[in-house]
Amino acid sequence: MHITDIMRANSPTFSFEFFPPKTPEAAETLYQTIRDLESYVPHFVSVTYGAGGSTRDLTHDLVERIQRTTKLDPIPHLTCVCHNEEEIQAILLRYAKSAIGNILALGGDRPAGIAYDKSRESFQHAIDLVKFIRRFNESGAHPERRGFGIGVAGFPEGHPATPNRLVEMDNFKAKVDAGADYVVTQFFFDNRDFLDFRERCALSQIHVPIIAGIMPITSITGCKRMAELAGGTRFPATLLRALQHCQNNPEMVRRVGIQYALEQCHDLLDNDVAGIHFYTLNRSDATRIIFDSLGIPRHPNTPISTV
């Protein structure tokens, strides 16, 4: 089912993001997270790539395993970096055969530690990938008549590669107009950035659903690492002050981070957000606490699959 169909029936949506494990221990943590969060019946879950597609096969395997063994609806990331058209075509055919309904089309992170020449890539920007998936949909190769639902990334604080915010919105509108059905934003810590981004999208005649990305801070080091991967993230002074007061107490840092994310969610819901997407870092505890505190209905009799 396309995400937009789900949104029409369920608004707002709630969803989680996982990344493929790199070790057996990480795999156990992830599968326990999936079991924990499945009972919350999220509307979908997304599965990331490593930088440069380094965990590509793990992503494919995890997506298909979630689809096959759980009640969750997985949305795989697909990136431009380190892919040619033949590889993307093969991946789309594999996902279509597995009845995956949606794709998140992204530019992708540059690979670290290896020579990389972006000019040699088949897909220079996410818009090129969106167009390719749209052509795949039109070919009729997907069992669903409309093909894949296509999601793209949004950047409430601005795209790191485009400092000119007016040019950025022109590029973003072109990407959406190329065939995107919905937007999932990068995480942010000031809701005013998201609300301003949403308003600028409306002014640019971008009318697809915009899902807000939320990442509960659970450690200082993890926070800095994810902000770096995101290309820089703005931390409001109120959040920094609260974290500084307890920076030597990991449990208090976790509590502050969860409380701050909870307040973000309440405010977003008050402002009629289309959906909230939680960056779980493959752990369920913070997300479960927020869900329970928000009072989001869950289905207590839903069986938890064995993954």
Q: Catalytic residues, which ones?
A: 17
Whole-number Å distance between alpha carbons of 40 and 289: 11
Give the Cβ contact number of residue 282 at 10 Å. Answer: 19
DSSP state of 28: H
Three-class SS of residue 54? coil
Facing residues of 154 across strands?
A: 185
Measured at the CA of 51, the angle between CA 49 and CA 53, to 5 degrees, comes to 55
Q: How far is CA 40 from CA 53, 68, 83, 284, 289, in A?
A: 30, 18, 35, 11, 11
Q: Which residues contact 307 (CB under 8 A, 6 or more apart)?
A: 31, 34, 35, 65, 66, 69, 70
Report how far residue 228's alpha carbon sits from residue 26's, in angstroms, rounded to the nearest whole number: 22
Exposure of 246 by Cβ count < 10 A (0-12 exposed, 13-18 middle, 19+ buried)? middle
CA 85 to chain centre: 23
